[in-house]
C-alpha cells in the first residue's frame, strides 16, 4: 500500500476541488454518471501531476462512491486502495473528512464482497 503514497512530496499546485465537486454534482443531478466519471478521472491525473494529495484524496473519495454506484469493482477497489494508502501515509485519522473517507472505503469494500477486509 505504501508505494502508492505520494504525500511526502511537496505539492506544486492544487486542483480547484470546489469547482470539481460542483461540476460532478451537476452531472449527478442529470444522472450523467459517465460524464462524472470522465471529470473525476481527469482531475485525478491533474492532482497526481501536481502532487496535490489533499485534492487527490477528495477525488478518490468521490470515485469510490461513483464506482460503487456503477458496479465497477476493479476501479472501485483500486480507488479504495489508493485512498487508504494516502490516509496511512498521512498518519492518524485527523478530520471528519478522513473518517468519512474510511467509511466510504468500508462501504465500497463490503459492496464488492470484501467485508472481512473492511473490518480490519
The domain that contains 73 carries what CATH number? 1.25.40.10
Distance in angstroms (rounded) separating the CA atoms of residues 113 and 120:
14
Please report the pLDDT score of residue 1 as a whole number. Answer: 39
Domain range enclosing 49: 2-119
Domain total in the chain: 1
Is the pLDDT assigned to residue 68 strictly greater than 60?
yes
Is the pLDDT assigned to residue 43 strictly greater than 90?
yes
Section 72-93 average pLDDT:
90
Scored b (16 or more CB within 10 A) or e, 96-107 reads eebeebbebbbb
pTM: predicted TM-score of the whole model, two decimal places: 0.88
Amino acid at each position: 500500500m505504501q508505494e502508492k503514497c505520494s504525500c511526502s512530496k511537496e505539492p506544486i499546485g492544487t486542483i480547484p476541488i470546489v469547482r470539481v465537486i460542483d461540476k460532478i454534482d451537476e452531472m449527478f443531478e442529470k444522472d450523467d454518471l459517465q460524464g462524472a466519471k470522465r471529470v473525476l478521472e481527469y482531475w485525478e491525473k491533474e492532482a497526481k501531476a501536481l502532487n496535490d494529495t489533499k485534492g487527490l484524496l477528495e477525488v478518490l473519495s468521490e470515485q469510490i462512491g461513483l464506482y460503487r454506484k456503477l458496479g465497477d469493482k476493479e476501479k472501485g477497489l483500486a480507488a479504495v486502495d489508493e485512498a487508504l494508502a494516502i490516509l496511512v501515509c498521512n498518519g492518524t485519522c485527523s478530520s471528519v473528512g478522513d473518517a468519512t473517507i474510511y467509511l466510504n472505503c468500508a462501504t465500497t469494500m463490503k459492496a464488492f464482497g470484501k467485508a472481512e477486509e473492511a473490518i480490519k
